[in-house]
């Protein structure tokens, strides 16, 4: 059968399905059910190309793809610098850390440095809304102390409990607080204040002061910092929960 003929048959089949089942559902799977062979081959080729480019660029490629798909939720096109990581983690008392939680790990820029400092019996629990990042982290970080959860930071208390802990010692956030949907930022700050043990802290870094100012409403004390060697330079804040609480 000639290419043009088989193409025509594919389109005929797709049209018949369309008449029977109605318009395709907005998911990739639903869309594929109504695609012709030619369209499918073309999509597979472009998927393969995307994967090749992503693999070539490594974590930066995955991060950039995450940004292209969800620019508002990701909020940055480049992961944090090693200067930001070092400064942000410096005040943590690692010997007392059993559970370290991270919101919005992206491609895991902070994960390895946290695991390097975490005691052997500690746990790093990361939460991200982007399944692309969670899938990448699960594939690339092989450490029994590491848990990656696809979910929202708003549900941190439930997620921490589901993994057998009453509280977290420290929570680190790379969330873009200023672009989160209405009400999500305050919900996250309040839930974080409740989940952290007395004497623990909420660590935030952001290009503006939104996270820092929000934390000031929920925590007892804020230590301020700034890291110029980051694209873009960023505001660091350590929000402490007093031991007496």
Task: List contacts with ligand SAM (CB under 6 A).
Answer: 73-76, 79-80, 103-106, 109-110, 127-130, 133, 152-154, 174-176, 184
Cβ proximity to ligand SAM: between 36 and 171 the closer is 171
| Nearer CB in complex with ligand SAM: 34/60 | 60
**CB of 155: closest distance to ligand SAM in angstroms?**
8
CB of 46 vs ligand SAM, minimal distance in Å: 23
Question: Kindly report the CA angle at 207 between 206 and 212, in degrees rounded to 5?
Answer: 45
CB of 48 to ligand SAM, least distance (A): 25
Token output for 81: 């610098």
Q: Where are the alpha helices (DSSP H) in 124-209?
A: 131-140, 156-162, 184-195
Contact 189, 213 (CB under 8 A): no
Between residues 127 and 239, which has the closer beta carbon with respect to ligand SAM?
127
- Neighbouring C-beta atoms of residue 162, cutoff 10 Å: 12
Spatial contact of 70 and 219, defined as CB atoms under 8 Å apart: no
Burial of 140 (0-12, 13-18, 19+ CB in 10 A): middle
Residue nearest to ligand SAM (CB): 104
Minimal distance, residue 43 CB to ligand SAM, in Å: 25
């Amino acid at each position: 059968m000639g290419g043009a003929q088989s193409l025509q048959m594919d389109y005929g089949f797709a049209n018949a399905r369309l008449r029977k089942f109605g318009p395709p559902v907005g998911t990739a799977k639903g869309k594929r059910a109504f695609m012709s062979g030619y369209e499918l081959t073309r999509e597979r080729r472009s998927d393969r190309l995307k994967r090749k480019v992503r693999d070539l660029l490594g974590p930066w490629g995955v991060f950039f793809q995450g940004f292209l798909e969800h620019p508002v939720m990701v909020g940055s096109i480049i992961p944090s610098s090693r200067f930001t990581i070092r400064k942000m983690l410096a005040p943590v008392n690692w010997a007392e850390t059993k559970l370290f939680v991270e919101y919005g790990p992206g491609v895991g820029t902070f994960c390895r440095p946290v695991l390097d400092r975490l005691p052997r019996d500690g746990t790093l629990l990361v939460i991200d809304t982007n399944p692309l990042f969670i899938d990448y982290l699960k594939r690339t970080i092989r450490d029994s102390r590491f848990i990656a959860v696809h979910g929202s930071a708003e549900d941190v208390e439930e997620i921490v409990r589901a993994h057998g802990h009453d509280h977290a010692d420290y929570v680190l956030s790379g969330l873009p607080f200023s672009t989160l949907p209405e009400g999500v930022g305050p919900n996250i700050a309040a839930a974080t204040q409740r989940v952290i043990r007395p004497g623990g802290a909420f660590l935030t870094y952001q290009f503006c002061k939104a996270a820092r100012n929000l934390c000031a409403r929920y925590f007892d004390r804020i230590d301020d910092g700034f890291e110029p060697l980051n694209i873009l330079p960023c505001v660091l804040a350590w929000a402490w929960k007093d031991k007496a609480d």
